[in-house]
Amino acid sequence: MSSLFSPINYFYPIVSFIICAIATPVVRVIARKKGWLAQPTTDRWHKKPTALVGGIAIYCGIAVPLLFLSDFSSILPHFLPNSHRASIPSIGATIWVGITFLFVLGLIDDFRSIKPYSKLVGQILAASLVAFLGHRLHWLTSMTLDTTLTILWIVGITNAFNLLDNMDGLCAGIGAIAALYLSLLLGGVNPDAAVAATLLFGSLAAFLIYNFNPASIFMGDSGSLVIGFTAAVLSLCFPEAGAKNRLASFAVPIMLMMVPIFDTSLVTFIRILSGRKASVGGKDHTSHRLVLMGFSERRAVLFLYGIGIVAGLSAIFVSTQDTLTSPVVIIPIGVSFLLMGIYLAQLRVYPEKEFSLLRERSYTPILIQLTYKRQLMLVMMDFFLIGFVYYLSYRLRFDTEYFPFYFKIFLKSLPAVIACKFIAFFSFGVYRGIWGFLGLDDILVHLKASIIASIFSVVAVTYIYRFEDFSKGVFIIDWLLTTGYLIGTRGSFRLFMDTMKRRTLSGEAVLIYGAGRGGEILLREILHNHQLKIKPLGFIDDDPIKSGKKLQGYPILGTSSDLNKLTLKHKVSGLLVSFRPEHIHQHDDRLDSVKRFCKENGLFLKRFSVCLEDMDLNP
């Protein structure tokens, strides 16, 4: 192949796009005529019969151009005894052989549903072929261990994309994003691999025309295995060619594959803890959990596209930086995915009885234990974030020329800073709060804890090191960042819980009459009590100044005189009066008008009240 930046190479993805764009509708027509359809089932997401084996078109879009562009002459000597094997075969030829084998394997599975272990054996064979031909991760100095890790990486990523094929356009879209970034990253490193990446991108971009929601054709295993294998093998080429820094050779491939890795890890972890087989399908993937939060199918897929794009941009940044700068991006990305995993794991996907299987096993119900020991997780997270924030403060304060000198100062003072901050956090009750209930008082606690933690740190380094070679600016930056991460991480749990509650509300649509303190209390009760089966659309209030504003994120739509217009515009089932009993008499005239309107239009009218009742003390 010629260099990626040769004009002829821009023609390659166009060719693969055209091939797949033509082949996909042809395959769809044949699949419908032959009855090769995916029928809706309880553990699948689609709701109507959909054509299968779209992987044929994806394979053609990649394999046909690759067949003519690749040099297969260097593969044969590896299979002949006593032959010269000095050169590593072309990556394009290696990919072509591997995807052809996996395409046939996936096609058999699409028609006959072979056992999971049979597919796994096939994936191991394909991955072993890649390692046998000399392509490795180059993560470890031991060739034996690195070869084993390479095989595990290829099998893992291939399976991850296979599992990611759980919602319209998700696997193809994430694969296309990864392929695009791979082509950019490998352009100046391995032109042959870069061209193969552009072919993958062109084929998947064409397939998305027919596979994006609502999909008219599914790729099946014959497509997802090909995508996963191609992406996995191409990702070997970055560390194989030698990154600018050692850390990037590990981080870049992982960041490029972050979405499928995250989805597979989350699903496998939760299924095992829930007593389910990891190989059995279900509606418990990242995309499904996003839908449970209130996202539409399209928005859930687009949200994951966005994550893939951000992870890819981060990978490009890391690939251009040195080892001391890369953690500035790597650690926040890792923490963000960790927090997202914690959020999504809290969503109840399986029936309650399935969680009870944990109690019937001989091992400890880890999922239940983690639910009640979240503070332990916060302590562990803070341990890493305190070190990272202190490191980031030095990196922001000093440029590349002076940073190596101050990095030594950072290392020797880090244990003291971690100890001081944990003492302050513990003393001020940072770990006594409850997840999801961060309020103003809690924010003040975290703010005071951060201030005292920084003061303790300054005192400690002054006492131990006499503050020699230390910078006051570092500790100011560290305080600002520490305060931000403390409030940000704790606030993110509150934000997630509120967002989930609002998005998952269902029931009769209502308007709340009264946008005051009573209305706010009523709204909170509705959000926290889904058994009410009520979904508020917004408020009405007789104070015209409030119209157009928002209360707790819900709009104040108008006054009681606007009821007729509002009920025509929105499918309102009733009204909830939020006035406190002692204030109702102030609104008698307007309330009577509202009562008549509800009666004439068949709307229910209910009054919200909070009261304390004496309980019978007799046993």
In the chain, where the domains are located:
7-371, 382-501, 505-607
Lowest-confidence region among 92-96, 222-226, 344-348, 587-591 = 587-591
Cα four-point dihedral sign 99, 105, 109, 114: negative
CB 104 within 8 A of CB 229: no
CA distance 357 to 368: 12
**Of 250 and 359, the one with more pLDDT:** 250
φ and ψ at residue 518, rounded to 5 degrees: -65, -40
Q: pLDDT band for position 151 (50/70/90)?
A: very high
Mean pLDDT of 363-367: 42
Q: Is the peptide bond before 214 cis (omega within 30 degrees of 0)?
A: yes
pLDDT at 168: 92
pLDDT at 618: 67
CA distance 259 to 157: 10
Q: pLDDT band for position 349 (50/70/90)?
A: confident
Q: Is 22 exposed, middle or buried (0-12, 13-18, 19+ CB in 10 A)?
A: middle
pLDDT in tens, 165-224: 989 999 999 999 999 999 999 887 888 899 999 999 999 999 999 999 899 999 999 999
Q: What is the amino acid identity at position 233?
A: V
Q: pLDDT band for position 389 (50/70/90)?
A: very high
Q: Is the pLDDT of residue 583 over 70?
A: no
CB 597 within 8 A of CB 565: no
3-class DSSP string for 483-516: HHHHHHHHHHHHHHHHHHHHHCCCCEEEEEECCC
Statement: the pTM of the whole predicted model exceeds 0.85: no
Q: What is the amino acid identity at position 358?
A: L
Lowest-confidence region among 85-99, 106-120, 244-258, 383-397 = 85-99
CATH code linked to domain 505-607: 3.40.50.720
Q: Is 69 exposed, middle or buried (0-12, 13-18, 19+ CB in 10 A)?
A: buried
pLDDT at 4: 45
CA distance 55 to 218: 8
CB 166 within 8 A of CB 262: no
* Alpha helix (H) residue ranges in 136-220: 143-164, 170-186, 191-211
574-577 vs 508-513, strand pairing mode: parallel
CB 337 within 8 A of CB 254: no
CB 414 within 8 A of CB 390: yes
Q: 594 CB contacts (<8 Å, ≥6 apart)? A: 513, 560, 563, 575, 577, 605
CB 108 within 8 A of CB 118: no
CA distance 216 to 209: 9
Q: Give SS3 for 25.
A: helix
Among candidate residues 219, 203, 220, the one with its CA nearest the CA of residue 211: 219
Number of H helices, E strands in the chain: 22, 8
Q: How far is CA 403 from the centre of its chain?
A: 33
CA distance 374 to 35: 50
Q: What end-to-end distance do the CA atoms of the chain give, in Å?
A: 88
CA distance 196 to 234: 8
